[in-house]
Amino acid sequence: MQIKQSLAALAFTIVLLISQPGEARADSGIGMQFGEPGTVGLSLRFNNTAVGAAWSFLDDGYLHVNIDQWALREDLARPVDWFVGYGVDVGIGNEWRVAARIPIGLIYEPSKDFEIFGQVAPGLKVLPDVTFYFGAAIGARYRF
C-alpha cells in the first residue's frame, strides 16, 4: 500500500512540476552530477526543470531521482545565474523514500553550450517517516 501511495505522489509531483510555467529559458542540457543523495549520476535540464538520477554507493546501492522546478532564475553577475525552486526526491532501494526539497544554487556559463552548477536542497522527507532532508550536488551539462 505504501508503494502505491509513493508512486501516486511521485506521478502527481511530476505533472505539477512539468506544468508550472517558469521564466522562459530556451535551452536544455545533459551532463553529470556528483553529490548527495546519490554519488554519481545523470543530470538533465529542460528549460527551468532539472532532473537528476544518481546511484548511491553510500546507501548500499540506492537509486535517487529528483525533479526540480526553478521558480526563480536570475542573473547574479554574468556569466553566473542563481536559482531557487521546489521539487521532489524519490529514493528506491531496500526502503522507498519520498522527500520535498527546495533547491538553491548557482549556474556558471563559460560558453553558450556548457554550464557548471552547484546546489543545496534542504527539505522534508515525508515517506516512510517525516524527518529533515538535505541534498547537494555539483555538476556540468552540455546545452543544446
Please tell me the distance from the alpha carbon of residue 61 to that of residue 98, in angstroms, as a whole number: 17
Give the Cα separation of 83 and 104 in Å (integer). 6
pLDDT greater at residue 133 or residue 20 = 133
Q: How many CA atoms lie within 13 A of 100 on its CB side?
A: 11
pLDDT at site 114: 94
Q: Check: CB of residue 116 under 8 Å from CB of residue 140.
A: yes
- d(C-alpha 142, C-alpha 42), whole Å: 12
Mean pLDDT, rounded, of the chain: 83
| Confidence category of residue 96, pLDDT binned at 50, 70, 90 | confident
Whether the CA torsion 21, 26, 30, 31 is positive or negative: it is negative
Instruction: Name the one residue in this structure whose C-alpha cell is 521546489.
Output: 86
CA geometry: angle 84, 103, 39, nearest 5 deg: 150
Per-residue pLDDT band at 48 (split at 50, 70, 90): very high
Cα of first residue to Cα of last residue in the chain, in angstroms, is: 41
Q: How confident is the model at residue 13 (pLDDT cuts 50, 70, 90)?
A: low
- The structural domains of the chain, ordered by start, are 2-143 (2.40.160)
